[in-house]
Amino acid sequence: MDKAYAQYLLEETKKNYDLIAEDYARTRAFVPDDIKSLGQYTQKGEKVLDMGCANGRLFDILRNKNVDFFGIDASERLIEIARSKYPEAKFQVADALNLPFPENYFNKVYSISVIHHIPSKELQLRFLKEARRVLKPQGLLIMRVWDFWQRKKGIILFLKYAFLKIIGRSKLDFKDVFLPWKNSQGGEVIQRYFHCFTKKEIENLIKEAGFEIKKSWRAGEDPRTNIYIVAEN
């Protein structure tokens, strides 16, 4: 993908999440069981980073472990919401491709449904390498990635944008799509960028970034199927 277009997509993603922040937070006020289960990988008192924290709901499942919790997101409005709801955690607007933390700083890094919003393999690798940089030796990266290939809508979108790519009417990479968001209060539709990772593709990318995969699996039912990976630094 053209670097300028990839940067444009990153900026559009930030703007879009600022626009839908209230609706997103309202529809993501609960913590689903699959995210709750990922809390098992964090021990009491650890230093934890949530890369792409959105409204901060991951903190809900870790707060009783007395962790030193940091959440970063590109959306200023989502960070405002997270700070308001969880004042005891540390939230800040930051670029996940250039984290404002020193090396070997965190015991655990979580990335819940984030990397599929990052365009191009180059930037996806940069995201993972930043996570590895701030992790302590033997620290864990815990990821959830949407599994579009197990979702009927995902297959339809893939076919649509693959066709547009073939006929020269799309600047996206293959396996990239735009997925509409309809505001639950009747607002306008926006188009969110996604990369449709296969399980093997995300595993290979994580290994290329220097991690050792400890566990990976698929779970969920259409339309909420995901890939989960636990990888060690």
Looking at this protein, which amino acid is placed at residue 167? I
The total number of structural domains that make up the chain: 1
Q: Which of 164, 204, 196, 162 minimizes the C-alpha distance to 179?
A: 196
Residue 181 in any domain: the answer is no
Q: What is the pTM of this model?
A: 0.95
Cα–chain center distance at 140: 16
List Cβ<8 Å contacts ≥24 apart for 176-184: 176/1, 176/119, 177/148, 179/153, 181/16, 181/20, 183/20, 183/23, 184/23, 184/26, 184/27
In sequence order, which residues have a C-beta less than 8 Å from that of residue 189 and are 6 or more positions away?
180, 181, 182, 183
CATH of the domain at 49: 3.40.50.150
Looking at residue 186, its pLDDT comes to 65
Residue 171 in any domain: the answer is no
What confidence tens digit (pLDDT) does each residue in 205-226 have? 999 999 999 999 999 999 899 9
The average pLDDT across 77-101 equals 97
HSE-CB for 179 with a 13 A CA cutoff: 19
What is the average pLDDT value for the chain, to the nearest integer? 95
- Domain of 212? 3-148+196-232
Residue 133 in any domain: the answer is yes
